[in-house]
Amino acid sequence: MVAQPIKFYQTGSFAVGNRLLPPEQRSVQAAPDRANALTCGHRACQGCGEALGARYVVDAALRASGRQLIAVNATGCLEVFSTPYPETAWQLPWMHSLFANAPAVATGVAAALRAQGRTDVRVLGQGGDGGTVDIGFACLSGMFERNDDVLYVCYDNEAYMNTGVQRSGATPPAARTATTQAVGPEPGNVFGQGKNVPLIAMAHEIPYVATATVAELRDLEAKVEYAMSLQGARYLHVLVPCPLGWGSSSADTIRLARLAKESGLFPVFEAERGVITGVSKIRRRVPVDDYLRLQGRYAHLFGAEPRPDVVARLQGCADRNIQRFGLLDDEMEESGEVRQ
């Protein structure tokens, strides 16, 4: 019989395709003994990318650490929807820090473990983009500088969702939030502000920095697994669409995460000690329109008074990422292929 290679789509889903793979290659979520660390009973919105991302990350980190893991969680949606007092949806030792200090609390946990000689127990810090790139940033930078043995994960939904969708330093240009209204000549969030924390993390030359999305489960799990094999400060920045804040359909969460990557707006890459070591190439390039039109936060760009000039500026941001991170393979670059 002629051998049939397993196609990507047969292994991309954890429901069916993983059964075609040898056990060691199956995703964590496909394993019957997965930890189910974020279990039923939480109150996240339907289609919440953050709940999905956290589930992938924490289960993968638990497996990689032999279930010897302590999580520290900044204030934000993930903390609020998972732990309405006196209940918890977490199936691991889990601590709620303040909004601003999750990296510092994680550092303290790691230091306490070190003092006790407990090298077997690992530490995971996690928070939203507001808690990470804005209010918790000083603590995060300190954690990087000291090279504390913590994997810190930022679940980036591009605004302060828990308190009603206010702009953060990770909110993209032109997006409407409660504090960046779609009014005036430059509606929504302004261009040229905010910050790119994966690049800032790289500048600290820590052992590992990576970005990922909830659209690529295997990539996300592999990055967590690799990060857990290293010691010192590690940073993972995961794009997690938020139907409530983005004004998108709950059914479009994975699609939006994929379009963010395939348009070039969200570059997916890995870096070690300040040097980029891997880039997830765009498989099928799409114009930014495909991504923007699915979201109410960009509706002002396509309404009664459309703003093609603003869309063109956003396309410029995507093009710059594509150039800067080398997101196209050579063939696609030569043909200039973009699906219209």
Ligand X SMILES: Cc1ncc(C[n+]2csc(CCOP(=O)(O)OP(=O)(O)O)c2C)c(N)n1
**Contacting residues toward ligand SF4, per CB under 6 A:** 44-45, 48, 50, 77, 81, 157, 161, 242-245
Q: Does 113 bind ligand X (CB under 6 A)?
A: no
- 270 binding ligand X? (CB under 6 A): no
Q: Count of CB atoms within 10 A of residue 188's CB? A: 24
Alpha carbon distances (Å) from 261 to 181, 216, 257, 282: 26, 10, 7, 7
- Name beta bridge partners: 312: none
State which of residues 53, 128, 187, 267 lies at the interface with Mg ion (CB under 5 A). Answer: 128
N- to C-terminal Cα separation, the chain: 41
Distance in Å, CB of 288 to ligand SF4, minimum: 22
Beta-bridge partner residues of 180:
177
Q: Is 241 in the site for ligand X (CB under 6 A)?
A: no
Cβ of residue 83: shortest distance to Mg ion, in angstroms? 17
Q: Does 289 bind Mg ion (CB under 5 A)?
A: no
Q: Which is nearer to ligand SF4, 49 or 264 (CB)?
A: 49
Does residue 79 bind Mg ion (CB under 5 A)?
A: no
Q: Shortest distance, CB of residue 175 to ligand X, whole angstroms?
A: 13
The β-bridge partners of 239 are 156, 213
11-70: contacts with ligand X (CB under 6 A): 50
**Tokens 């970005």 sit at which residue?**
211
Q: Which does 131 bind (CB under 5 to 8 A by kind): ligand SF4, ligand X, Mg ion, none?
A: ligand X
Interface residue with ligand X, options 27, 97, 101, 157 (CB under 6 A)? 157
Is there a contact between 214 and 49 (Cβ–Cβ < 8 Å)? yes
Q: Which is nearer to ligand X, 245 or 267 (CB)?
A: 245
Residue 311 makes CB contacts below 8 A (sequence gap 6+) with 288, 289, 292, 301
Smallest gap from Cβ 245 to ligand SF4, in A, equals 5
Which residue from 17, 125, 127, 198 is in contact with ligand X, where contact means CB under 6 A?
127
Q: Which does 75 bind (CB under 5 to 8 A by kind): ligand X, ligand SF4, Mg ion, none?
A: ligand X
| Listed ranges 154-162, 271-279, 316-324, 331-339: which one lies at the site for Mg ion (CB under 5 A) | 154-162
Beta carbon of residue 51, minimum distance to ligand X (angstroms, whole number): 10
198 binds Mg ion (CB under 5 A): no
Selected from 77, 110, 202, 227, the binder of ligand X by CB under 6 A is 77
Residue number with CB closer to Mg ion (169 or 207): 169
Within a 10 A sphere around the Cβ of 50, how many other Cβ atoms? 27
Angle 111-73-83 (CA atoms, 0-180°, nearest 5)? 135
Work out whether 72 is an interface residue with ligand X (CB under 6 A).
Answer: no
Q: Nearest 5°: CA angle at 262, between 260 and 268?
A: 75
Beta carbon nearer to ligand X, 17 or 49: 49
Residue 160 CB, nearest distance to ligand X (Å)?
A: 4
Indicate the residue whose CB is closest to ligand X.
128
- The site string for ligand X over 160-189 (x = CB under 6 A, - otherwise) reads xxxx----x---------------------
* Interface contacts to Mg ion, rule CB under 5 A: 128-129, 157, 161
Return residues touching ligand X (CB under 6 A). Answer: 50, 75-78, 99-100, 127-131, 157, 160-163, 168
